[in-house]
Structure 1
Amino acid sequence: MTTQTTETPSAPVNKDGNAKGLIGLPENVGRALATAGGVLAIVSTFLAWTWTSEFPGDLTVTGYPGGLQVLVLIGGALTALFGLASYGVPGLGWLTPAGADSALKLASLGTFTTAWYTVIAITVELGGIVNLEPGGYIVAIVTLAGVLGAFSLPFVRPEPDPIDPDDTGWEQSKHNARHKWTVFKASIASGTPSKAPTLPAFAEILVIVAAMAVGLIVFTYGIGTEYDEQFVGFLIIVGFGFAALAKAGLVARVSAITGKHRTITMFGAFIAAALFPFTQSDDQYATIGVYILIFATVALGLNIVVGLAGLLDLGYVAFLGVGAYTAAMVSGSPSSPFDVHLPFWLSAILGAAVAMVFGVLIGAPTLRLRGDYLAIVTLGFGEIFRITVLNMDGTSGPDITNGSNGISSIPNLNILGFDFGAEHTFLGFTIARFANYFLLMLLITLIVVVVFQRSSDSRIGRAWIAIREDETAALAMGINGFRVKLIAFALGASLAGLAGAVQAHVTYTVTPEQYQFAHVVPPNSAFLLAAVVLGGMGTIAGPLVGAALLYLIPAKLQFLGDYQLFAFGLALVLLMRFRPEGLIPNRRRQLEFHEEAEAPTVLGKTGA
């Protein structure tokens, strides 16, 4: 049967010159085995996997998946979907523009890994394989058969069609033209000439709504995992699922649609995030949500400095501290040396302004340095800030920051009569303190996103990118490198100060140890930089996703104890090995790490 694919063979090949897989099964048998494995994995989740409810999630119920069974069900559904798409089932071709075989391999591998992780965990925790019910044996066998069938399929390399959401309309039209020509040639070869499928505007908007809904569901599920085994399974299935969707070309296709409707996408993302507190029954997970937003907002500000301007800043968390301390001092705290209680909007502006002044004061004498030298200077600034506020306790220095005790008892915000420290009921939903601050921080994040987007699309943004790519060439073209870098430094610092003003009220207390270069609990300079690099430098969504992962993973890996940082570091090494351009990269950065990708015809607005 003919498969719907735009993939081309890579290696290895058999004696006839055709591509082959790792397992010596006929291609049609392997495809059927992989698809059937996904379907049977779904069926197995409706059976009991163990006889006792001592294993978390209660996997003893027949007819109702629970706990890790739900994750295996999702993996099985993806595997079956890609298996049917590989057969050319009508209607599924749009979901796999780059071909389904590679996605089928990853989906089946993710399902297999999650299922076997669950079976092994049951065996180890309950004391033997005897604790498995028939459903446990069935899921182990069918997922193993499915992954063997998937890896008997030929190894092929998809013809890339990534479209950068940051591209101009002219660039996107060039990419679209090349994609249509590729599809047209493939259709001619198959004897059925056609054009690349397109969607009407309302359908594209529905795709954006669906993407936002899926994102909200995944985030809510991940943040609400109740036990360690469930979170590990969540990471496995999300990682393999995202990789499968990327291999299928669906991620690139959705990115192209969201890039075409930027305003709708931003509005939809804001609405989806605003709905998160209303999905929670208490403040337990809203607490994590508000800290993730603080971390993500600061990471987005750092993305201006590192991602756009290419300046390696290792002391960026100090600007967050400047904003937090400034807001704490003027917000009516009894620990503050100033008997001042300014309204929030004024304290937030003051925190951003003071942080910007510090950014200019630090950047003015140091931004003539480049590379590692600049990194060392900024690292020193971060430590100087921490030691300075630690010594301003009235003994080693002036009594301003209260030393190691910090500024405590920062009152809750009260904006236009709305008390952020009290519970409020909206349309039958009750949201508590951290949910209130989550919505406020979401508004701050929206402001930072708009500032980032407008800055990156402006003339100064193009100058930042030129400096990042080749400072010497940019200077030769007449760009004032020092002024451009100083603006980036000052803008990034002010955004961090704005987030710090909210952080001071959320945490009640600001202390020097919150602003170290590296410690277990983010945000800190090391985690902020990792969030930018992991998520995708120079993009909006990248640092937001990277920050969410880097905050959520350590918070959920507490069960590892002393091995927590080791496991976390190992995970980062693996991610950088297999996704060095970041989880959500722009096209230019993606081309730097993948030589097989198609070189762009147009590199920028200037055509160079």
Structure 2
Amino acid sequence: MTTHTTTADNAQPHKEKPPTGLIPIPVGPARALATGGGILTVVSAFLAWTWTAAFPGDLTVYGYPGGLQWLVLIAGALTALLGLASYGVKGIRTIAPAGTDAALKYAALAAFATAWYTLFAISDKLGGLANLEPGGWIAGIVTLTAFIGALALPFQRPHTYPVDEEDSAWEQFKHRTRNASTIFKGAFAAETPAPPRKLNSYLEILIIIAALATGLLVFTYGIGTEYDELFIGFLITVGFCFAALSKAGLVAQVSTYTARHRHVTLVGAFLAAAAFPFTQNDDQYATIGVYILIFATVALGLNIVVGLAGLLDLGYVAFLGVGAYAASMVSGTPSSPFDVHLPFWGAILVGAGASLVFGVLIGAPTLRLRGDYLAIVTLGFGEIFRLAANNSDGSSGPDITNGSNGISSIPNLKIFGFDFGVEHTIAGFTIGRFANYFFLMLLITLVVVLVFRRSENSRIGRAWVAIREDETAALAMGINGFRVKLIAFALGASLAGLAGTVQAHVTYTVTPEQYQFANSVPPNSAFLLAAVVLGGMGTISGPLVGAALLYLIPNKLQFLGDYQLFAFGLALVLLMRFRPEGLIPNRRRQLEFHEAELSPGETPPPAALSKTGV
């Protein structure tokens, strides 16, 4: 029997139900509530939130935001802009090419979380909610209002998996947990974005420059936060605002432009990084900058081994130590057993060459292993290196490394008469010692990036990817797996040796304790591997961003004391749970991780499969 549907039934639009537990609010008032709440959030940032300046940032001034109020203002402004874009306001709607609803939720969450964190921080530091001025209460109410309105907006109902009553209680629990997580993601899921519109080349380049300038501004602000509460608020705001921009489609759109103008992006990123020391009044934060670059360079070298070739190396930090020890021994320091003083070019070649030799010596007998077995062997090599350096003190072994005292008094580098250890004036700016090494390390990072790019796009790079995806199939197609993996191991080791050369001269001292598998101070093997996985394996920018975050955040979270690693580990677990492909993922790996989220019968677009990320 055939069933007919009336015209009235066909005219009824399909309406998605809001997530369980939310009060149903019509879409129109909900969008108005979120937009109005964003506008009022901006206004509330100009009010006094507390009566005393004892809370850092001075939140007592009417008409001028201070400290954490600036972060709430930025999140509120983004919420208001996305709300106006959802109404199709001409000139504003272009900021959300992938839709506004999911982005609006994250922006409202950024304002709500930052404002309420500030209110609780004020109460905790000053001794109770009585220390809040009316402006603080207003900020809390309007951000909560905006967040409730944003949550009431429609969301994409995802595909869920049925629960079989015959399964065990544990299996049923896992299915229900997975479905709940999928529904939660669906509430914050963006619409399917249209392909980015091709603009004039000069306009696309201007957008890239603006994105790089914004990145420099955000990094400079974050690294220069003056007190602990401000840095935590900064992390909350930046994290949720970045998620909002990503859901709005802006991040994907800028990524498309950078893929079209790779050389412009590379030069622009290099110039933006080079401008960082000129934004600082002293050498304090240039110190963090140079260590971030050392950490990032080593992580990028490890990305060749792990991200491209798929070899799990848990002792990679040992190659950094080999380069540092080798370069320090020929630097002319009185604590070196060799009376040799080579110029910088000789020292850097010795450091990279020593790491290359050790990479070949360790890789030749071990790279026939796979998976966990290879990981255990490389972990053992890392510990052997540290113990050997610790015992080479003249009593437990040969007198080469001075044991636990290490090699000290390493002189500063001099290149063509330029002394990296003294201040220099460039264009009216005073550049200190760490800023000098920052520029040197930036050049080395650029070299490593170029090596990575050329290797990735070469024949050997495609062989690495084939080995990573399926070694058995690659061997069947005629690829010499052992030789290809050995090249990756040796190249990654030599790049770590380059960074180790500079590290030895920056720190003045090289000791075995600097090169452990895991400790609270990066770089170490655990942090290096986390930087690659967190940033995005197989990409260039991923490990650089991951290394910067993994070095900067623990450095800024030292006030947590014994809870520092707990908070840091919890953040990593949550990030890997909700974004397992990394912050800047390889496109193909991103599709692999989220293949289960596709609807039954749905296939990823061919255009997405052809892109490998940046």
Q: With structure 2 as the length reference, what TM-score do the two structures score?
A: 0.89
Question: What displacement does 1:394 show?
Answer: 0.5
Q: Structure 2 vs 1, CA of residues 114 and 403 (structure 1 numbering), >3 Å: closer, same or farther?
A: same
Q: 1:432 to 1:157 in 2, by over 3 A?
A: farther
Deviation at 1:283, TM superposition (A): 1.0
Q: Counterpart amino acid of 1:116? A: W
Q: Distance in 2 between matches of 1:197 and 1:91?
A: 15
1:292 alignment counterpart: 292
Cα deviation, residue 67, structure 1: 0.7
Aligned counterpart in structure 1 of residue 604 of structure 2, from 586, 591, 599: 599
Q: Is the contact made by 1:413 and 1:421 (CA closer than 8 Å) also made in structure 2?
A: yes
- Secondary structure of 2:425 counterpart: strand
1:36-69 deviation digits (Å, cap 9, x = unpaired) = 1111111111111111111011111111111111
Number of residues paired by the alignment? 559
**Post-superposition shift, 1:94?**
2.9
d(CA) in 2 for partners of 1:17, 1:87: 20
Q: For residues 604 and 483 of structure 1, do their structure 2 counterparts lie closer, same or farther at Cα, with a shift above 3 Å needed?
A: farther
Contact 2:99 2:193 in 1 (8 A): no
**C-alpha deviation, 1:523, in angstroms:** 0.2
Match of 2:99 in 1: 99
- The answer to whether the 8 Å contact 2:588/2:611 transfers is no
Question: Aligned pair 1:571/2:571, yes or no?
Answer: yes
Indicate the residue corresponding to 1:211 in structure 2.
Answer: 211
Alignment check: 8 A CA contact 2:423 2:431 kept: yes
CA distance in 1 between counterparts of 2:560 and 2:256 reads 40
Map of 1:60 onto structure 2: 60
Amino acid at match of 2:15: N
| 1:174 match | none
Q: Per-residue CA shift, 1:232-253, capped at 9, x if unaligned?
A: 1011011101111111111111
Residue 302 of structure 2: aligned partner: 302
Q: Check 1:605–1:545 CA distance in 2 against 1; reply closer, same or farther (3 A cut).
A: closer
2:586 matched residue in structure 1: 586
Q: Which residue number in structure 1 is paired with residue 17 of structure 2?
A: 20
Residue equivalent to 1:552: 552
Deviations 1:140-167 (A, max 9, x none): 0000000000001001379xxxxxxxxx
Secondary structure of the residue aligned to 1:396 is coil
2:430 is paired with a residue whose SS is strand
For the residues of structure 2 that align with 1:363 and 1:268, how far apart are their CA atoms? 37
Quote how far apart the aligned CAs of 1:77 are: 1.2
State the distance in 2 between where 1:143 and 1:182 align: 28
Q: Distance in 1 between matches of 2:426 and 2:336?
A: 35
- Secondary structure of the residue aligned to 1:156 is coil
- Secondary structure of 1:199 counterpart: coil
Secondary structure of 1:478's match?
A: coil
SS in structure 1 at match of 2:275: helix
Cα separation, 2, equivalents of 1:242 and 1:338: 52
1:512-553 Cα shifts (integer Å, max 9, x gaps): 000000000000000000000000000000000000110011
- Partners of 1:37 and 1:236 lie apart in 2 by 19
Write the letter of the residue equivalent to 1:76.
G
User: Within the alignment, does 1:319 sit opposite 2:319 as a pair?
Assistant: yes
**In structure 2, distance between residues paired with 1:403 and 1:100:** 60
AA paired with 2:233?
Answer: G
Aligned-partner SS, 1:217: helix
Output the CA distance in 1 between the equivalents of 2:367 and 2:572: 30
CA contact (8 A) 2:97 2:193 kept: no
**d(CA) in 2 for partners of 1:232, 1:494:** 37
Match of 1:423 in 2: 423
2:136 is matched with: 136
Q: Which runs of 5+ in 1 are unaligned?
A: 1-14, 159-180, 184-194
Q: Which residue of 2 aligns with 1:154?
A: 154
Question: Structure 1 CA distance, aligned partners of 2:326 and 2:90?
Answer: 60
Question: Is 1:220 aligned with 2:220?
Answer: yes
Distance 1:57 1:482, change over 3 A: same
246-255 vs 372-381, greater mean Cα deviation: 246-255
Paired position in structure 2 for 1:72: 72
> CA offsets per residue over residues 85-138 of structure 1, 9 Å max, x none?
111112233321211110000010111000000001101110111111111011
CA shift, 1:565, in A, is: 0.6
1:530 aligns with 2:535: no
**Counterpart of 2:50 in 1: which secondary structure?**
coil
Give the Å deviation of 1:16: 6.9
Does the Cα contact within 8 Å between 2:16 and 2:157 map onto a contact in 1?
no
Q: Distance in 2 between matches of 1:537 and 1:101?
A: 30
Aligned partners of 2:422 and 2:432 also within 8 Å: yes
Once residues 48 and 442 of structure 2 are traced to their aligned partners in structure 1, the CA distance between those partners, rounded to angstroms, is: 42
Separation (CA, whole Å) in 2 of partners of 1:400 and 1:146: 65
Is the 2:317–2:517 Cα contact (8 Å) retained in structure 1?
yes
CA distance in 2, matches of 1:83, 1:462: 45
Could you report, residue by residue, the CA deviation over 1:426-460 in whole angstroms, capped at 9, with x for unpaired residues? 11111101111111100110000000011001110
1:82 matched to which residue of 2?
A: 82
Q: Relative to structure 1, is the Cα distance of residues 490 and 182 closer, same or farther in structure 2, using a 3 angstrom cutoff?
A: closer
Deviation larger for 534-543 or 551-560: 551-560
Instruction: Output aligned runs, 1:293-442, within 5 Å.
Output: 293-442=293-442
Q: Distance in 1 between matches of 2:445 and 2:611?
A: 28
Gaps of 5+ in 2: 1-11, 159-191
Contact preservation (8 Å) 1:23, 1:151: no
How far 1:198 sits from its partner (Å)?
2.6
In the alignment, is the contact (CA less than 8 A) between 1:75 and 1:110 conserved in 2? Answer: yes
CA distance in 2, matches of 1:490, 1:451: 13
Deviation, 1:319, is 0.2
Match of 2:177 in 1: none
Displaced runs of 4 or more, over 3 A: 602-606
Alignment match, 1:270: 270
State how far apart, in whole Å, the 2-side matches of 1:579 and 1:95 are.
23
| Residues in 1 aligned to 2:402 and 2:533: alpha-carbon distance in whole angstroms | 35
Deviations 1:208-251 (A, max 9, x none): 10010011001101111111111110110111011111111111
Superposed CA deviations along residues 166-200 of structure 1, whole A, max 9, x for unmatched, are xxxxxxxxxxxxxxx985xxxxxxxxxxx963310
SS of 1:53's equivalent?
coil
Query: Which sits farther off after the overlay, 95-104 or 258-267?
Result: 95-104
The answer as to whether partners of 2:84 and 2:93 remain within 8 angstroms in 1 is no
- Aligned partners of 2:489, 2:296: CA distance in 1, in Å? 18
Tell me the SS of whatever aligns to 1:277.
helix
Answer yes or no: is the 8 Å Cα contact 1:20–1:153 preserved in 2: no
TM-score, length-scaled by structure 1: 0.90
**Structure 1 residue 605: Cα displacement:** 9.8
User: Residues of 2 paired with 1:111 and 1:401: CA distance?
Assistant: 53
SS at match of 1:425: strand
**For 1:277 and 1:211, how far apart are their aligned partners in 2?**
19
CA contact (8 A) 2:322 2:500 kept: yes
Distance 1:604 1:485, change over 3 A: farther
Between the aligned partners of 1:290 and 1:182, the Cα distance in structure 2 is 39
Please name the residue that 1:186 is paired with: none
Q: State the secondary structure of the residue aligned to 2:111.
A: helix
Kindly report the root-mean-square deviation, in angstroms, between the aligned alpha carbons of the 2 structures. Answer: 1.6
- Which residue in the other structure is 2:517 paired with? 517
Could you tell me the percent identity over the aligned residues? Answer: 77
